[in-house]
């Protein structure tokens, strides 16, 4: 059976939609494995696997107004042009009071999205990596610098990195010196995701939260198809717990760094299901 080339059941038009999905097929700065350029369409394909009704959230996506814009034309741009286009398109969505859902692409795309938001938001980053280098391979919009770029726009005290377990030493020391709050995956394994969530809640209080999911936060045994896999990750259940805990404050979401060439579709399936969960839970409060 041939499925449509848009995200499953996202058949509202832009004007009527509450949620706008858009793909950002960009992987120019990826360091280890390229291929996240293919993720937006692969995740769309994977999304048709699921029933429209989700037993867990008791929401049927058919009842929601979701638009899939397609992909932004950024593939060949240099990073700063890509960032500008992403910021511009995200602004259009926010001006109309719609909820943006972006599908990367590599993690650098999130820098552009965040620039479209007011500076007083909080950003919750799920990632195996700190991404806190100031510059990498002569490029400040490299995907290894996204947390740093977010901190150019949003106060570092309103940023949380969850699931981190990899950093370069200099980057780690800089993050420590600047009091970047992070919770590593080993702490979560030992103390449980609930304890981590309580700590995040006390830091982000009742702020509006943008959530960015670098799929490599999740253990590569669940989601092998990613650019820089890092063992000892969090689980897809942990991600669902995060969404369930913060959905009433969420103001946008992206999933990045899925690299479909490197698995049998697992990473795209998980990404598609998590997108569905974000939309379903957020629909309860918009």
Give the interface with Mn ion as residue ranges (CB under 5 A).
Answer: 107, 127-129, 131, 214, 216
Q: What is the secondary structure of 169-185 as a DSSP string?
A: HHHHHHHHHTT-EEEEH
- Rounded Cα gap, residues 162 and 134, in angstroms: 19
Query: What minimum distance in Å lies between the beta carbon of 161 and Mn ion?
Result: 9
In whole angstroms, how close is the CB of 231 to Mn ion at the nearest point? 13
Count of positions (residues) in the chain: 286
Exposed / middle / buried, residue 86 (Cβ in 10 Å: 0-12, 13-18, 19+)? buried
Residue placing its CB nearer to Mn ion in the complex, 9 or 229: 229
Report the Cα–Cα distance between both ends of the chain, in Å, rounded.
34
| Minimum distance of Mn ion from residue 238's CB (angstroms) | 15
CB of 176 to Mn ion, least distance (A): 19
Cβ nearer to Mn ion, comparing 129 with 276:
129
What is each CA distance from 278 to 108, 147, 192, 205, 251, in whole angstroms? 21, 22, 21, 20, 10
Nearer to Mn ion, 68 or 127 (CB): 127
To the nearest whole angstrom, how small is the minimum distance from the Cβ of residue 230 to Mn ion? 7
Q: Which is nearer to Mn ion, 61 or 217 (CB)?
A: 217
CB of 21: closest distance to Mn ion in angstroms?
Answer: 20
Number of neighbours of residue 76 by Cβ within 10 angstroms = 9
> How does strand 209-214 pair with strand 59-60?
unpaired
Nearer to Mn ion, 8 or 146 (CB): 146
Report how far residue 161's alpha carbon sits from residue 38's, in angstroms, rounded to the nearest whole number.
Answer: 26
Please state the closest distance from residue 147 (CB atom) to Mn ion, in A. Answer: 8
Pick the closer one to Mn ion by CB: 69 or 79: 79
DSSP string, 74-131: -TTS-HHHHHHHHHHHHHHHHHTT-EEEEEESSTTHHHHHHHTS-TT-EEEEE-SB--
* Rounded alpha-carbon distances, angstroms, from residue 283 to 33, 41, 58, 129, 279: 35, 24, 11, 30, 6
- Residue closer to Mn ion by CB (options 98, 107) is 107
């Amino acid at each position: 059976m041939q499925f449509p080339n848009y995200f499953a059941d996202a058949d509202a038009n832009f004007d009527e939609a509450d949620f706008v999905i858009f793909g950002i097929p960009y992987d120019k700065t990826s360091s280890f494995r390229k291929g996240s350029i293919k993720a937006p369409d692969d995740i769309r394909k994977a999304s048709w696997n699921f029933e429209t009704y989700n037993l867990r959230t008791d929401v049927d996506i058919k009842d929601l107004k979701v638009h899939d814009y397609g992909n932004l034309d950024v593939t060949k741009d240099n990073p700063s042009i890509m960032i500008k286009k992403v910021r511009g398109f995200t602004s259009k969505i926010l001006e109309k009071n719609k909820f943006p859902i972006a599908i990367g692409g590599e993690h650098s795309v999130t820098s552009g999205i965040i620039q479209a938001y007011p500076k007083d938001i909080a950003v919750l980053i799920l990632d195996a990596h700190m991404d806190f280098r100031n510059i990498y391979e002569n490029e400040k919009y490299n995907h290894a610098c996204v947390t740093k770029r977010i901190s150019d726009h949003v106060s570092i005290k309103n940023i949380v990195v969850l699931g981190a377990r990899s950093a370069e030493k200099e980057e780690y020391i800089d993050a420590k010196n600047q009091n970047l709050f992070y919770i590593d995956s080993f702490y979560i394994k030992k103390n449980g995701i609930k304890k981590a969530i309580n700590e995040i809640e006390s830091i982000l209080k009742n702020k509006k939260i943008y959530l960015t999911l670098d799929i490599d936060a999740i253990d590569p045994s669940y989601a092998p198809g990613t650019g820089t896999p890092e063992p000892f990750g969090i689980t897809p259940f942990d991600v669902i717990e995060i969404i369930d805990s913060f959905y009433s404050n969420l103001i946008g979401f992206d999933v990045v760094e899925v690299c479909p060439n490197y698995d049998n579709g697992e990473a795209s399936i998980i990404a598609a299901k998590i997108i569905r969960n974000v939309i379903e839970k957020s629909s309860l409060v918009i």
